[in-house]
Each structure stands twice: as C-alpha cells, then as structure tokens.
Amino acid sequence: MKKLLLFFIMFFLITIQLMALNVSKYKIDVTIDTETHSISGVSEIFFPYQKGNILVPIGNKIEINSLFLNNTKIAVDIVKKGNENFLKIVPVYFKDQNKLEIYYYGTFKNVPQNAMFSQEFMNIGTDGYIKDDFVYLPPDGYWYPHFDGVLAPFSLKVKTKSNLIFVTTGNFLGKSSDGIYNVFSFSEDKPVEPIFLIGGKYKVDKDYLNGISIYTYFFNEDEFLSSKYLAAVKRYIKMYSDLIGPYPFKKFAVVENQLPTGFGMPSYTLLGQEVLRLPFIVYTSLGHEVLHNWWGNSVFVNYSEGNWCEGLTSYMADHYYKELKSEKDAVNYRRQLLVNYMSYVKKGNEISLSEFIERHNPAQRAIGYGKSLMVFHMLRKLVGDDVFYEALKNFYSEMVWKKASWEDIRKIFEDTWEKVHEKTLEEYKKENKKIPEFEKNLDTSLDWFFSQWIFRKGAPEIGIKLNMVFQVSENDYLISFDLTQSEPLYKLLIPVEIVTEKGKEFRKITFSDKEHEFQIILKNKPLKLIVDPDYDVFRKLYPEEIPPSISTVLGKDTLYVYFSNNFKNSESYAKIMKSVFPKKDIFKVKTLEDALSKASEGKCVLFFQTPSENLNSKIKDISMQDIDIKDGNLFLNSKPNPIMGNKKAIIVFKNRMTQNTSLALFVDDGNEISFERVLNKIIHYGKYGYLIFDGEKNILKGEWETLKSPLILDIK
Ligand SMILES: [Zn+2]
C-alpha cells in the first residue's frame, strides 16, 4: 500500500488549478487532547506567487478559527464541494513568497468497528480518531489543511498532556516538556506526501546504521519482536543501498497500529498488530515497504503513464527474496503470477500497465503488480544482469526527488545499455579481436519493448509444433519446430530447453511472427522440448498449466454451494459467504445430483461436509487430484491428515469431466466465527491447492503439481 491516490485523482478532476500550487513547506503546530478527542492549532502553508484563487482542502472535520495571509488577518470563506470543504483564498495580497496561517480546531472520534485487513481494500473505514490510548490521523481525514498529491517538506510540533508517544514521517527531533505538555518535534526537508500522525502507548527501541536511526514503536506485549525487526530493517537498508544508492531518509521506523493496516510511508511502515505478529512479515512485506523509500517515496511516480513503482518494488523485494532462496522458488513465484492473471483478469476488467494507478481488486493487482514485475524480469533477461542493475542505479541517481514515468525508465535503460555496449565494442577493438555478429548487430532500442508491454493490454499466447527430428551425421541431430502466437503479435525472447540423452541444453529464441520455423543442431539425441520452462515470459497459460488453487476459485464470479445432509448451519454459512464476497453470485443447490450436474456444465461448485463424513464416492470420482476422506482423515495424494476437532479443510481440485474447471471441497467443523475469519484470510493463500486450519490458524498448506502442458513436447 502507498499513497491515497484516489483522493488525488478526484481532487485533480475537481480543481485543476490547484495542482499547479507549489507548496514550499508546511509548518504545523498542534495540541492533541485525548479527553475531548480533539486537535487544535495552526497550520502554516508557505507557497510562491500564485495566479488566481487558491482552494485549500480542509475536509469536513475541522473548523477554522482564524486566517492570516502574510501576517494580515483575512476573512474565512468556505466553499463546499460534495462532502468536502475548501478554504478559498483570493490572490489580491499575494507576494513572491507567501505564508498562510490557518488556525483550526477539530474533533476526531470515528473509531472503525471490525476493521479487517485486506490486500485489496485499503480504506479501513475511518478518517481518523483520537482516544486516550491511541491516535490515528490519516491525511485523508484532514487533521491539518493540505493539498493532496502535493509533495512538500514539513515541520511538525505535537503537544499533549497524555502519555502517548507520537510518530510520523521524517526525522524525530526529540521530546521535551514545558511543564504542562509533552512536546514532540518532527521535520523533513525532502518533499514528502501528506502525512499520517500516529500516537500510542509505545515501547520505543532504537538502533543505528551508518547515521540512519532505526526504530520500532511496538505495544508492550509485542516488544519482544523488536530486535528481529530492527535487525531485518538494517539488513534491507544495507542491501538496497548497495543495489540502488544511498537510503534517502535519516530514519526508518516500524510502527505498530491498532488498526489492521500494512501501509508503507516515507521513512516508516505502519503495521497492524495481527500483521506484525505474522512470522513471515520480516522476510516479505517489511523488505517491500523499506524498498518503497527508494521507489515511490524518493523517486516519485509520474502517474500520467501509469504506476511503475509496485512492479519494480515487488520485483526487487518479493521476487528477489525467492531468487535468493532458490531458483525453483522464483520459478514457482512467477508461475503463480501468471496463474493469478489467468484467474482474475478477464476481457471486461483488463487494463494496460499505462492505465494502472493503484490496486482496488485482484485483477488490478495481477496487472499492476504481477504483469509489471514480469516486465522488469523480461527487461533484465533482455539486457542482461549487468546492464539491468547499472540502469537501476542510474535511474535512481537521475530521478531521485523527481517524478518518473515508464518513459524515463525506457530512456535510462536504453542509454545504459548503449553505453555498456559501446564499451564492449571498444574493448574488442583495443584487443584487436573480431567483433562477434550478435554484438555488431545488437539493437539497444527499447521502444518496441515498452510499447508492447506497457501501452498494450493483454498477453501473448504461444504455441509449438514439432516438425521433425533428424540425425544429420553420426554426432549431430537436427530438431525442427514451429513456434506460433496469436494476434496481436509480440516480439518475444523465449527460452527453450531441450532434454537430450545426455542432459539438458538451453537456447534463447527471438520470435516476432505469427508462425516461424526454428532449427536447432544438437550433439545428443533430443527426448523432450520445453518452451519457456521457467516462466520467464509474461504469457497466457494453458489450462493444463494451471494447477487448481484457491485463486482459481476466488476468480469466479458465480459459485454454487452444496451442503451435505449432515451439515447443520448451512443457512448461516451461505450468509457468511455472501457477506465476505459481496460481489459474487452465490447459489445454494439442494441435492448432490444438482451439484454434480452444475459441475458437469463447467460451473464452479463448492461441496461442504463435516469431518466425520466419508467423502462421497461421486465427488471423489470427478476429481483429477488424488483426494479422499475416511475415518476422520483427509487423504491428499494418499497421505492421511487428521481433520477431527476444530479443524477446517479447503481442497481445490479439477473437474475430470470438464478437464479444467476448479471445484472445491470444504470440510468444516461448523464453527461460524472461525469460518468467517478463515474466509477473510484465504485471499492470502491464493496459490495453494489445499489448506487445513485448526480454528483459524493455518496448520497445513500445499500446492498441487502441474499436469501436462502443451508447451512440453515428448519426442519419440
Ligand atoms: Zn508496494
């Protein structure tokens, strides 16, 4: 998660003249009273000369006491637009440099009920609240008047009689006391997005790395996690400073939130308690949020051509950590991105990367994160590792504290590639060596690459046909095959693996026609030909390449649900499903016969049963995966897993009758509360084919093997 872009865009549409406003600085001085849930103080906005009126957004929570422009009191004029209020300032007294002082007061009490963490919905239902044990003031609640989407330095003083500890973006200058109030001071001289103000009963731990202060602000009960987080943040800052360039801020803080968020802001991350306690967060999301300080928070996104920053951040964080673990983990990760694309992206919701701003649903995530990540991966495969990492360093040093677009990325990658290439050619000349053909003919332009991947929707569909295998001489074999692709055509760099009698051989093929014949000479007899074995190309998968998984079910708009006769609370279960997935059409089917007939029509059916029932043989028969339930055990590939007690199991399997649609089996103890919680969680388990929960805690997860693929040719 990042910026509050939706507001930025709405705002952009309402008052375009405002976007031109350059804020040189905000100086905010506020007092927080937890007893009255109120905030009061002054926000000073410094800005250069401006033609025309200024409308300062003030939301709908604060009231203006008085207003001064360049030290002269002026009248308060409020303009209402929809639900939001704006302070109208006429330009009569504007100078070259201006100071607007806004004295205001506001009450924030909106504590959200049952806020749920979600990957897809980032509005957690509050514009901010002030309580005796916690203060949560997001910028979109306008706890201080500011312009959305405008980046500016700031200084902030927070006074409070409470014993809360405050934290926000930028440098923490210290805490002092004036006898009555505790005073917290912050500042940042770099341009930053509008800020959140967070206060809590924190235990603060601190560490240092090369002059950077690293903090954790954790609640008492979680302080024991602090050392793990501090060490991980140090590791990430060091790693990315080496890969990209120096860390752009003077501090990084991990801040625990009462609300279930996973937000990344300049110089800190705000993590809900539940998220913070997840053991894998330090190895995944934390690094992603640290990396956003380079991509997003210091190289800003020029959204006019789409948001590149999530793809690059995910590539250098989530995907990179898989690569560091093993090549196989990275391959599986990429395959899953393609599965997500196939599961969630349909004709009606497909966008190009140049249209992606921010994710609001799984389809946008599959494109704005998944496809975007794959584009960086293909770019790296195209230019090579050396050029790729050097270009990223150049991109950072050239664009830091500026707004960058895909076009800037293209230019910098092209320039870097060209320079590295020129150097290589010079070295050949210096050493009087013959320049190889491929170096001579190398084309370092990237126009075609960016136009097909960034500005076009969709993905290529690749096919293969074997023509012949031919023994040319005693030691040489020739294999001839056609690659095909559907229109519109892409220029693709496709890896091909040939399994021979004596091991594997690899080739890279450039392919841009609808159909093209390729011939490869091999030293050993070929047995198998595999196109794109490691999922290096962003392409449409064949149904056979997609193992049944939670995401293949979650991607369906219509679900049919069958409850076995022994299943007690089918009514409330159906209700819970509708409330967790409000956008899906969910229909109950009465009999197993009806359910099976829906399945035979290719519909997605969810079969519910209790743990003590054996699996009905008719359901077992239509599964392509090896599953069974007998005597309180769930058998997966013939391996028993006990499911009695407070357990829930979700198993997704493929329908043998239709060859590829997914069906799911829910084995459930009947506990509604944990069912609702598990349903809310399963979006995080999208890639898995089977899950077992004890209550709401996951105790088993696994993926099914991929079945045969049309891109694997057995050569007889
Ligand atoms: Zn991100």
pLDDT tens, residue by residue, 143-196:
999 998 899 999 999 999 999 999 999 999 999 998 999 999 999 999 999 999
What is the 129 CA–ligand 1 centroid distance (Å)? 25
Q: What tokens appear for 280 in the block?
A: 């894998």
What is the 315 CA–ligand 1 centroid distance (Å)? 10
Question: Which of 54, 28, 58, 50 shows the shortest CA–CA distance to 41?
Answer: 28
The pLDDT value given to residue 667: 94
- 506, with CB counted inside 10 A (0-12, 13-18, 19+), is exposed
Q: How confident is the model at residue 114 (pLDDT cuts 50, 70, 90)?
A: low
What is the 312 CA–ligand 1 centroid distance (Å)? 9
The answer on pLDDT for 119 being more than 50 is: no
The answer on pLDDT for 444 being more than 50 is: yes
Q: What tokens appear for 410 in the block?
A: 């293209």
What is the 688 CA–ligand 1 centroid distance (Å)? 22
CA distance 638 to 709: 24
What is the 203 CA–ligand 1 centroid distance (Å)? 27
What is the 435 CA–ligand 1 centroid distance (Å)? 43
372 neighbors 305 (Cβ within 8 angstroms): no
Q: How confident is the model at residue 705 (pLDDT cuts 50, 70, 90)?
A: confident
Q: What is the mean pLDDT of the chain?
A: 92
What is the 292 CA–ligand 1 centroid distance (Å)? 7
What is the 213 CA–ligand 1 centroid distance (Å)? 22
The 3-class SS string of 109-128 reads ECCCCCCCCCCCCCCCCCCC
Q: What tokens appear for 156 in the block?
A: 């902030």
Can you give the length of the chain in residues?
A: 716
Question: Distances in Å between the alpha carbon of 600 and those of 13, 657, 688?
Answer: 49, 6, 24
The pLDDT value given to residue 218: 98
What is the 675 CA–ligand 1 centroid distance (Å)? 29
What is the 708 CA–ligand 1 centroid distance (Å)? 34
The angle subtended at Cα 597 by Cα 625 and Cα 676, nearest 5°, is 65
What is the 542 CA–ligand 1 centroid distance (Å)? 29
CA distance 80 to 83: 7
Torsion angles phi and psi, residue 589, rounded to 5: -110, 140
The DSSP bridge partners found for residue 477 are 471, 522
Contacts of 289 (CB under 8 A, 6+ apart): 262, 264, 269
Q: What tokens appear for 351 in the block?
A: 């966008």
The answer on pLDDT for 604 being more than 90 is: yes
For residue 488, say if its preceding peptide bond is cis, omega within 30 degrees of 0.
yes
What is the 400 CA–ligand 1 centroid distance (Å)? 18
The pLDDT value given to residue 1: 42
What is the 327 CA–ligand 1 centroid distance (Å)? 23
The answer on pLDDT for 227 being more than 80 is: yes
The pLDDT value given to residue 687: 86
What is the 163 CA–ligand 1 centroid distance (Å)? 33
What is the 116 CA–ligand 1 centroid distance (Å)? 19
What is the 314 CA–ligand 1 centroid distance (Å)? 7
What is the 453 CA–ligand 1 centroid distance (Å)? 20
C-alpha distance across the termini of the chain, in Å: 51
Torsion angle, alpha carbons of 417, 419, 424, 428, to 10: 140
The DSSP bridge partners found for residue 209 are 212
CA distance 621 to 629: 13
39 neighbors 105 (Cβ within 8 angstroms): yes
Torsion angles phi and psi, residue 435, rounded to 5: -80, 125
pLDDT tens-place string over residues 563-585: 999 998 899 999 999 999 998 99
What is the 373 CA–ligand 1 centroid distance (Å)? 11
What is the 3 CA–ligand 1 centroid distance (Å)? 10
The pLDDT value given to residue 6: 39
DSSP symbols for 441-501: T-----HHHHHHHTSS-S---EEEEEEEEEE-SSS-EEEEEEEEEPSSP--EEEEEEEEET
The answer on pLDDT for 118 being more than 80 is: no
DSSP symbols for 193-246: ----EEEE-EEEEEEEETTEEEEEEEEGGGGGGHHHHHHHHHHHHHHHHHHT-S
* Averaged pLDDT, 577-599: 93
The answer on pLDDT for 541 being more than 80 is: yes
The answer on pLDDT for 121 being more than 50 is: no
The answer on pLDDT for 15 being more than 90 is: no
What is the 264 CA–ligand 1 centroid distance (Å)? 7
Per residue in 6-33, is it b (16+ CB within 10 Å) or e — as a string? ebbeebeeebeebeebebebbbbbbbbe
Q: How confident is the model at residue 438 (pLDDT cuts 50, 70, 90)?
A: confident
> For a pLDDT cut of 70, what percent of the chain falls above it?
95
The pLDDT value given to residue 431: 92
Strand ranges (DSSP E) for 617-716? 627-630, 633-636, 639-642, 647-654, 662-668, 690-694, 697-702, 712-714
The pLDDT value given to residue 115: 65
pLDDT tens-place string over residues 277-313: 988 899 989 999 999 999 999 999 999 999 999 999 9
What is the 709 CA–ligand 1 centroid distance (Å)? 33
The answer on pLDDT for 18 being more than 50 is: no
The answer on pLDDT for 493 being more than 50 is: yes
What is the 107 CA–ligand 1 centroid distance (Å)? 32
Residue 539 DSSP one-character state: -
What is the 126 CA–ligand 1 centroid distance (Å)? 22
The pLDDT value given to residue 372: 98
Torsion angles phi and psi, residue 449, rounded to 5: -65, -50
The pLDDT value given to residue 124: 65
The answer on pLDDT for 7 being more than 80 is: no
What is the 651 CA–ligand 1 centroid distance (Å)? 30
What is the 285 CA–ligand 1 centroid distance (Å)? 8
Count CA atoms within 13 Å of residue 132 on its CB side: 1
CA distance 31 to 38: 8
What is the 564 CA–ligand 1 centroid distance (Å)? 42
Which ranges of 473-616 does DSSP label H, i.e. alpha helix? 550-554, 570-580, 592-600
122 neighbors 128 (Cβ within 8 angstroms): no
What is the 245 CA–ligand 1 centroid distance (Å)? 19
What is the 287 CA–ligand 1 centroid distance (Å)? 10
What is the 319 CA–ligand 1 centroid distance (Å)? 13
What is the 546 CA–ligand 1 centroid distance (Å)? 26
pLDDT tens-place string over residues 195-225: 999 999 999 999 999 999 999 999 999 999 9
What is the 294 CA–ligand 1 centroid distance (Å)? 11
* Other beta carbons within 10 Å of 260: 17
Number of H helices, E strands in the chain: 19, 39
The pLDDT value given to residue 552: 86
pTM: 0.85
What is the 368 CA–ligand 1 centroid distance (Å)? 10
List of domains in the chain? 1-200 (2.60.40.1730), 203-298 (1.10.390.10), 302-453 (1.10.390), 462-541 (2.60.40), 545-702 (3.30.379)
- 636, with CB counted inside 10 A (0-12, 13-18, 19+), is buried
What is the 289 CA–ligand 1 centroid distance (Å)? 6
What is the 311 CA–ligand 1 centroid distance (Å)? 8
What is the 212 CA–ligand 1 centroid distance (Å)? 22
What is the 386 CA–ligand 1 centroid distance (Å)? 25
What is the 313 CA–ligand 1 centroid distance (Å)? 6
The answer on pLDDT for 273 being more than 60 is: yes
* Other beta carbons within 10 Å of 581: 16
Strand ranges (DSSP E) for 365-419? 403-404
The answer on pLDDT for 526 being more than 60 is: yes
The pLDDT value given to residue 123: 55
What is the 2 CA–ligand 1 centroid distance (Å)? 6
Question: Which of 386, 382, 383, 404 shows the shortest CA–CA distance to 395?
Answer: 404
Give the neighbor-by-neighbor strand order of the sheet with 492-500.
503-511, 492-500, 526-531, 712-714
The answer on pLDDT for 659 being more than 80 is: no
What is the 133 CA–ligand 1 centroid distance (Å)? 29
What is the 281 CA–ligand 1 centroid distance (Å)? 14
What is the 288 CA–ligand 1 centroid distance (Å)? 6
Q: Dihedral of CA 44/45/49/51: which sign?
A: negative
CA distance 433 to 430: 8
* Averaged pLDDT, 530-547: 93
What is the 298 CA–ligand 1 centroid distance (Å)? 14
What is the 331 CA–ligand 1 centroid distance (Å)? 21
The pLDDT value given to residue 331: 95
CA distance 284 to 300: 22
Contacts of 179 (CB under 8 A, 6+ apart): none
